[in-house]
Amino acid sequence: MQNFVFHNPTKIIFGRDTIGRIGPETKAGGCRRVLLVYGCGSIKRNGVYDAVAASLAESGVAAVEHPGVRSNPVLSHVRAGIALAKEEQVDGVVAVGGGSVLDSAKAICAGALVEHDVWQFFKGKKPIRKALPLFTVLTLAASGSEMNGGMVVTNEETRQKFGTANTLLHPRVSILDPTATCSVPADYTAYGAVDAIVHILEFYCTTASAEPTAIQDRISEGLIESIMAACDRVLADLQDYQGRADLMWGATLALNGLTAAGRGPVGLPMHMIEHSLSALYDVPHGAGLAVVAPAWMAHRAERDPVRIAQLGRRLFGLNNVADDRQAALEAIARLKAWFAASGCPVTLHELGVPEDDISQIAANALGLAKIWRLREYDEAEISAILQRCR
């Protein structure tokens, strides 16, 4: 167990009929005039918008709307939100949607309080020292953005999709009502489960600590197993509340710091590569990970199969496979088969990405590898991993 500080300031309100808490919580947070950030219409169709608007109005919190956040959110829309937040002199932000909406809102919270361009935060050129208070209502179980300080935005001009994090960007309060996710279609339900699973795998597989990480590993393995089971339930019945609830809480726990604490330095190499697929081809984040993760894991297993072999023995019962490399490769094959059975693409071709573009994708990903200080990844290494996505 390595030394660590675990500080997660986000208050979670979880369960049925909790969306009406957004007004009182935003008011209690000191806000009277907020920017209401949301996507391209799903919340208008599933009733979440009406519940949020009514709750804010009943609490006397005025809402200035900033709709239109796209999946894989773009910098131009964030900049417009910052301009609106400044012009309307809002004192907080309410985000209602999935990870794209919450991340855009975080960028607006930080960008609204500085004079420089918000992209400077993503390039690591400017530190985040203050942010407007953020309150969220989550409608898609995937990113974990509801309980972390991370945000990911695409700069359409440079075709870069960069992520950064800061504790100041943690939502003050996030409301997680699983019924709000019942309108998520099967494909995005599966993509969300893959995203959450890969968040856990990133830290599990990149743990280099010589000291044991028994607690972290068991939490991680249990979360992966539960998320897979919950996803299977929901794909069998999209209205399955308990399945939706497990998916939602599992995705939140997957990236709120819990599974990483005590592991020592870890990284997000699979995300580093996937963000380029989403930046260049606008593919859903979880779909891109379903292609990249098995390839990265197979590449890692060549050099260091121990962690993945342990996952295979504990998750897929491969105790009879003594050789670590064999156990690791079998574990990867099982995971990839589950991704495919859940309706996810598992090759670049199935994702709709031209295999001839591998060198362009690798060059794009290298930009994020440098910012994230993933020093072992050069273009050749990233290309070699992408070749395994064919």
Residue 234's nearest CA partner among 178, 291, 177 is: 178
Q: Rounded distance, CA 120 to CA 102, Å?
A: 19
46 contributes a contact to ligand NZQ by CB under 6 A: yes
Total site size for ligand NZQ, rule CB under 6 A:
37
Q: How many CA atoms lie within 13 A of 15 on its CB side?
A: 2
Looking at residues 60 to 79 of the shown chain, list those that interact with ligand NZQ (rule: CB under 6 A): 71-73
Residue 180's nearest CA partner among 69, 71, 48 is: 48
Lay out the site mask for Zn ion across 179-218 (x = CB under 5 A, - = otherwise). Answer: ----------------x-----------------------
143 contributes a contact to ligand NZQ by CB under 6 A: yes
Q: Strand pairing partners for 13?
A: 175
Q: Which stretch binds ligand NZQ (CB under 6 A): 7-15, 17-25, 176-184, 218-226?
A: 176-184
Partner from Zn ion, ligand NZQ, none binding residue 144, C-beta < 5-8 Å depending on class: ligand NZQ
The token pair at 331 is 């574990």
Residue from 25, 177, 195, 240 binding ligand NZQ (CB under 6 A): 195
Looking at residues 243 to 262 of the shown chain, list those that interact with Zn ion (rule: CB under 5 A): none
- Per-residue H/E/C for 268-307: CHHHHHHHHHHHHHCCCHHHHHHHHHHHHHHHHHHHCCHH
Total site size for Zn ion, rule CB under 5 A:
1
Nearer to ligand NZQ (CB atom), residue 41 or residue 124: 41
User: At residue 160, what are phi and psi to the nearest 5 degrees?
Assistant: -115, 135
Nearer to ligand NZQ (CB atom), residue 135 or residue 188: 188
The token pair at 20 is 């009406």
Residue from 181, 213, 252, 259 binding ligand NZQ (CB under 6 A): 181
Partner from ligand NZQ, Zn ion, none binding residue 180, C-beta < 5-8 Å depending on class: ligand NZQ
Angle at which helix 269-281 crosses helix 186-206, to 10 degrees, equals 140
166 contributes a contact to ligand NZQ by CB under 6 A: no
Residue from 95, 142, 235, 301 binding ligand NZQ (CB under 6 A): 142
Positive or negative torsion for Cα 281, 284, 287, 293: positive
For the bound state, the minimum distance from the C-beta of residue 290 to ligand NZQ, rounded and expressed in Å, comes to: 12
Partner from ligand NZQ, Zn ion, none binding residue 136, C-beta < 5-8 Å depending on class: none
Residue ranges in 176-240 assigned as alpha helix (H): 186-206, 214-236
Q: Strand pairing partners for 136?
A: 95, 174
For the bound state, the minimum distance from the C-beta of residue 298 to ligand NZQ, rounded and expressed in Å, comes to: 21
Partner from Zn ion, ligand NZQ, none binding residue 98, C-beta < 5-8 Å depending on class: ligand NZQ
Q: Rounded distance, CA 178 to CA 169, Å?
A: 23
Partner from Zn ion, ligand NZQ, none binding residue 183, C-beta < 5-8 Å depending on class: ligand NZQ
For the bound state, the minimum distance from the C-beta of residue 285 to Zn ion, rounded and expressed in Å, comes to: 5
148 contributes a contact to ligand NZQ by CB under 6 A: yes
SS3 assignment, position 244:
helix
Residue from 121, 122, 162, 188 binding ligand NZQ (CB under 6 A): 188
SS3 assignment, position 163:
strand
131 with 106: CB under 8 angstroms?
A: yes
259 with 203: CB under 8 angstroms?
A: yes
Binding-site ranges for ligand NZQ (CB under 6 A): 39-43, 46, 71-73, 97-101, 103, 139-140, 142-145, 148, 150-152, 163, 180-181, 183-184, 188, 192, 195, 255, 271, 285-286
Binding-site ranges for Zn ion (CB under 5 A): 195
